[in-house]
A and B are shown apart, each in its own frame.
Chain A
């Protein structure tokens, strides 16, 4: 797959597409795994337990073991930061750029209800994928022709049903309804023929409508003994087709003649845009073991990122401005380990670690997708009182410094270093 390059705004528009992806604070690529504070305390290793309503995300079969009616309401704050140090030939050795998007909140809300001793239904509202990049000082940011700000936001509504086939064996499944949208800001460059130097001739902002599409998820969870449990889950890939507009705002260059030509060249105002993103499937398998007051779990998660091969950006009636961005992601594994110690009837504490391998080839590492393999360290706790339990957890995620090795597709070379602090809080209530 190759990127077609046709005209002045092509770069803008493929960047629009690239804007659909990016953050390094979450799972590699742009997946998120912060789906409930108890699971977060295990560093996301929760497939084999799924012992609270966040099972709707982690493993729908876990819902089959939940009693009565349960609410599990919470959210996560993520504070990612990225530092970029440039290389020659562009943007230049030692050039520093910073990204700081502040704290980004997103919800994880779940409800389950047992209809019988064996049949349980539920629904969840969670965020399986999300990204936000926002580079500081966008007017002078050296990567501003690729992207200054990108956001992919939305939620998944996940009605779920689970059935306990036996006392220690359950299966479950859900409908995965995604509502997502895309935003991207960037600048458009052109050579000023009067100076033969590059100037900013426009800014462009892409805003998509909210797209809706459907997937599904399945799970199985077995507890062969009081101590052991094993689970597996699958969440299907979902392709989202977006429609929206790219709004071009011309910027004066100081040359009225050049400005006049650019006004003829660039679209005026809002131009219809379509694009699509294929969100990868996720397969998880986990094994948990209980020993006295301790619980241990290890999981492996496989994201089939190879479905994210390219990103088409189509401008209505402007084929010269349309493009296809090669991404060529590869499938990638995550490995998660967590442990819990029940201190007493009120308190439990947790900790964990995960390694998240990047799916991004080095050529695709960019200001929009500065992806890298990352290590995550988790800590969490639960406080219980009657029917109420409050779970809190925090992740510190540190990406390995990743150099573009001089082969960036955007010819924007350097080294990205990212880290993130994640805070999760969930309140559980059982009726």
Chain B
């Protein structure tokens, strides 16, 4: 009798597990988003990284059926960045002169991963073409992201859009509402429409909020002071650090200098003549002063508040990736004795463009998604095994202090994100 009861209990548990899994059926999974969801890495959309995009990993872990992406052959579109040298200065540049080409254009249906690098929330709702850009490559004129998502009649959708509504300000070094920043009221309205359209498909939806783009390596790596390339330490005069020169004189200590300044610094721009520099100021477009940083953060906070309210009202579980990045910045992430951080080049999580993730970064964030899917959407997806992405992994090596983020690398980023 006891054995019979045990059997019934086991059967009940199996049934329960089965029904829980049914709540989040990834068999027909669609991703709507931007570069972070596209698997964009090191300034490039390339199959070697796309295969580890967050949606691709979720699809694999969730048993998605025939999950298709707009794959691009090596060296990617644009050409993937690579680290050329660490010494005497760190130089990052495209790894080839000619880009790769699409390898899945003939797919006779929309891709499952519809995320388009550079896409804003408005783009996800309205844009179909972009004159030979990545929208054309990925959407192929078949409709907007949301339209194609609906056409696929998905069982499950991840929505990770809005980063480009704030990221442009960081890349352009200018925080102007309505120009480099999408007004929050507009963002909220558009986001609400996207959610409504996706909900109309009947799919289970899980969303993620926006990263603090003032906390990514693209803007946190270069200090606002002159660094001695030989010692990799700040140069000091009379015991004090020497500030770089900006349009309004010496930079305040809380100024963020973007990686786009590195090629200028290598030519002495922004460095006082007395210290061997050109004595000319860094342009404003590679700097974020405290006011600009505050403006960007306010937008991120407001946009995330809007996302939270809209998702809550719609019953959509939300992955708080903003908090994840903040935690990474504050504490790093311990994995088997390896300390991963958000540091540029040495942290293991951000790629050579300082904005997008490495394969390991994608895997870490995929597990954040899985936690929410499992805890709030009734899923039972196994976590992504990090071993293949680590080969085992990372304490911070001394951060190289001088960077040569090539002008080509910067141009590629600006083009992808539509920054003029």
- The residues of A with any CB-CB pair to B shorter than 8 Å are 5, 7-11, 15, 88-93, 95, 142-146, 186, 188-191, 193-194, 196-201, 257-258, 260-262, 264-265, 409-412
Q: CB < 8 Å: which of B86, B396, B400 contacts A190?
A: B396
Closest to B352 in A: A196
Q: Are B83 and A194 in contact (CB under 8 A)?
A: yes
Q: Are B347 and A91 in contact (CB under 8 A)?
A: no
A142 to B391, CA, bound (A): 9
Q: How far is the CB of A144 from chain B (nearest CB, A)?
A: 7
What are the residues of chain B within 8 A of A258 when measuring CB–CB? 86, 397
Is the C-beta of B19 less than 8 angstroms from some C-beta in chain A?
no
Is the C-beta of B135 less than 8 angstroms from some C-beta in chain A?
no
Q: How far is the CB of B389 from chain A (nearest CB, A)?
A: 8
Q: Are B336 and A145 in contact (CB under 8 A)?
A: yes
Closest to A94 in B: B385
Q: Are A199 and B391 in contact (CB under 8 A)?
A: yes
A223 to B348, CA, bound (A): 67
A190 to B394, CA, bound (A): 4
Q: How far is the CB of B348 from chain A (nearest CB, A)?
A: 4
Is the C-beta of B418 less than 8 angstroms from some C-beta in chain A?
no
A265 to B386, CA, bound (A): 26
**Given A142-B392, A146-B336, A411-B336: A191 and B386 within 8 A (CB)?**
no
What are the residues of chain A within 8 A of B398 when measuring CB–CB? 261, 264-265
Is the C-beta of B51 less than 8 angstroms from some C-beta in chain A?
no
Is the C-beta of B273 less than 8 angstroms from some C-beta in chain A?
no
Q: CB < 8 Å: which of A88, A189, A261, A262 contacts B338?
A: A189
Q: Are A196 and B336 in contact (CB under 8 A)?
A: no
Is the C-beta of B262 less than 8 angstroms from some C-beta in chain A?
no
Q: Are B384 and A89 in contact (CB under 8 A)?
A: yes
What are the residues of chain A within 8 A of B394 when measuring CB–CB? 189-191, 198
Is the C-beta of B339 less than 8 angstroms from some C-beta in chain A?
yes
Is the C-beta of B87 less than 8 angstroms from some C-beta in chain A?
yes
**Given A11-B338, A257-B86: A93 and B385 within 8 A (CB)?**
yes
Q: Per-position contact with A for B328-358: 1 when CB-CB < 8 Å, else 0?
A: 0001111111111000011110011000001
Q: Are B338 and A198 in contact (CB under 8 A)?
A: yes
Closest to A11 in B: B337
Q: Are A411 and B333 in contact (CB under 8 A)?
A: yes
A215 to B281, CA, bound (A): 68
Q: How far is the CB of A110 from chain B (nearest CB, A)?
A: 41
Q: List 19 A-B contacts (CB under 8 A).
A: A5-B334, A15-B337, A88-B384, A89-B383, A89-B386, A90-B336, A90-B385, A93-B385, A143-B336, A145-B336, A145-B338, A191-B393, A194-B83, A198-B348, A201-B397, A257-B85, A411-B336, A412-B335, A412-B337
Q: How far is the CB of A360 from chain B (nearest CB, A)?
A: 18
A262 to B385, CA, bound (A): 28
Q: Per-position contact with A for B388-418: 1 when CB-CB < 8 Å, else 0?
A: 0111111111101000000000000000000
- Which residues of chain B from 173 to 217 have any CB-CB distance to chain A below 8 Å in the complex? none
Is the C-beta of B382 less than 8 angstroms from some C-beta in chain A?
yes
Q: CB < 8 Å: which of A92, A143, A190, A200 contacts B386?
A: A92
